[in-house]
Amino acid sequence: MGTKSSNTSAIAKATGTPWETWSARLENAKADELTHKEIAELAFTFMPPALENPGWWAQSVAVAYEQQIGRRLPGQAQDGTFQGSVSTTLAEDLDGALARWEKQVSGLKLFNGQTLVEPARTSASERWRYWRASFSDGTKAQVDIGLKVDKCSIAINITKAKTPDQVSEWKSFWRQILAEIKA
């Protein structure tokens, strides 16, 4: 047996189905012989009709099952790379939070010992602001700034890391940046 996903209790709560039932259903269907997409499609067929966002939950079931059978480690994406995130909340509006973020990172030559592969990109929608960057070690970061009533959340999503340790190093680096923004 692999690693039990920490997400199984959230899956059980959202779907009203205990993880043991999900696991048994998937085992009975020989899901260990299926692709990720096929496992998610199978899980989707068992989703309760009134569940909000059943496709997302089906993906969560597939990932948790793949972790359980040892096909994937926690934090591991389908392509074998690893991902993680850190976040904080600021008492700012969207544009103010993005400006603080950009001010904090604009003068950096090195990010966690890595250089930017190309200039960071920003974009915006009515409810979100984004900052995206690719680094010399192959990792990527997407910063999502979203409204939370009278505050903004800043979530930094780290992707394409080669190991869980690399994710941990990036998380430590980004936590420091977030602490400096809040100071």
Per-residue pLDDT at 174: 97
Place of tokens 């960071």: 120
Q: With left for phi above 0 and alpha for psi between -120 and 50, is residue 2 left, alpha or beta?
A: beta
The CA distance from 138 to 141, in Å, is 10
Per-residue pLDDT at 100: 95
Domains of the chain, by residue range, sit at 8-68, 82-182
Phi/psi at 169 (nearest 5 deg)?
Answer: -65, -45
- The dihedral of CA 26, 32, 34, 37: what is its sign? positive
Helix (H, G, I), strand (E, B) or coil at 132: strand
pLDDT (tens digit, 9 = 90+) per residue, 169-182?
999 999 999 999 98
The structure tokens listed for 122 are: 């920003």
Residue ranges of the chain with pLDDT lower than 70? 1-6
DSSP character for 123? Answer: E
| Beta strands in the chain, from DSSP E residues, in sequence order | 82-90, 121-124, 128-134, 140-148, 151-161
Please report how many Cα atoms fall inside a 13 Å half-sphere around the Cα of residue 124, on the Cβ side.
8
Helix (H, G, I), strand (E, B) or coil at 52: coil
For Cα atoms 66, 71, 77, give the angle at the middle one, nearest 5 degrees.
Answer: 75
pLDDT (tens digit, 9 = 90+) per residue, 86-101?
999 999 999 999 999 9
CATH of 82-182, one of 2.60.220.10, 3.40.50.1820, 3.30.310.50, 3.40.30.10: 3.30.310.50
- Residues facing residue 116 across a β-bridge: 135
Per-residue pLDDT at 5: 62
Q: Are the C-beta atoms of residues 131 and 122 closer than 8 Å to each other?
A: yes
